Copies of this chain bind each other. A is one copy, B any other.
Amino acid sequence: MGIQERKEREKERRRSEITDAAEIIIFANGIEKAKVEDIAEQAELSKATLYLYFHNKEEIYFAISMRGQKIMLDMVEKAILSVTEIRAKILSFLKTMVQFKETYPDYFNAVLYFLTNKIQFEGKNVALHESRMSHEKYLNLWIDLIQKGKQEGVIRTELNEVNTVLLLWMQLMGFLRIYSVIEENLNEMFHIKKENMMNEYFELILQGVVK
C-alpha cells in the first residue's frame, strides 16, 4: 500500500515540477505563444514525458489556473473574514479580487482563461467541474453571508442566495477580464483614470446588492 502511495506522491511532485516550469514559460508570453517544447526544456524533461503527466498543453495550463484559483479563494476568504459588517465584507471581496488581479496578473489570466473559454477535456467541461469542486467550500461561506445579510436587513430580501453569489462572481470576473484587456488603453482612449473607474464600479455593485 505504501508503494502505491509513494508512487502517487512522486507522480504528484512531477506534475508540480512541470507546472512550475510551465508557469515560467507561459507567463512569459502567454498561452498561445508558449511551446510545449519550451516547457519541456524548462522542466528538463522531454516533450513526450510531459504527456505522461498531462493529456495536453491546455491541461497544463489548467493546473496553473487551479493554483491561481486557490490563491484567489484564499485571499478572498481571508478578506471576508477580516471585517465584520456585511457591506464591508462585500467591498472587501471586490477589492481583494482586484488586488488578486494586480498582484498575480498571470494567475488571474489563467483563471479567467478557463472561465471565458469553453475548454473541453475529453468531451467534458472538466474545468468547470474541478473549479466547482474547489469553490464548493467557499460557496457555503458566501451563502451564509448573504443569508445573514438578508436577516440583518442589509441585503435586499428579493435576492436568491445562490443566484446572487454566482452573479457577483460572474459579473466581477467578466468585468475584470475585459478590464484587463482594455486597461492600458483606458486613459488614452477615454480619458478615464483606473482608480475612478474601479471605485465607481464598486459603488455600482454594492448599490445593486445592498439596501
The distance in angstroms between the C-alpha atoms of A171 and B169, with both chains bound, is 11
A78 contacts partner chain B, Cβ-Cβ < 8 Å: no
The distance in angstroms between the C-alpha atoms of A30 and B125, with both chains bound, is 15
Number of copies: 4
Instruction: Bits for A102-127, please: 1 = Cβ < 8 Å to B, else 0.
Output: 00000000001001111000000100
What's the nearest-Cβ distance from chain B to residue A122, in Å? Answer: 15
Contacts of A118 in B (CB 8 A): 30, 181
- List A157-211 residues whose CB lies under 8 Å from chain B: 158-160, 162-164, 166-167, 170-171, 173-179, 181-182, 185, 189-192, 196-197, 200-201, 203-209
**Which residue of B is nearest A125, CB measured?**
B185
What's the nearest-Cβ distance from chain B to residue A98, in Å? Answer: 14
The distance in angstroms between the C-alpha atoms of A200 and B171, with both chains bound, is 12
A116-B177, A174-B179, A204-B205 given; 5 more Cβ-contact pairs under 8 Å: A128-B181, A160-B200, A167-B201, A167-B204, A207-B209
Residues of A within 8 A of B (CB): 30, 112, 115-118, 125, 128, 132, 156, 158-160, 162-164, 166-167, 170-171, 173-179, 181-182, 185, 189-192, 196-197, 200-201, 203-209
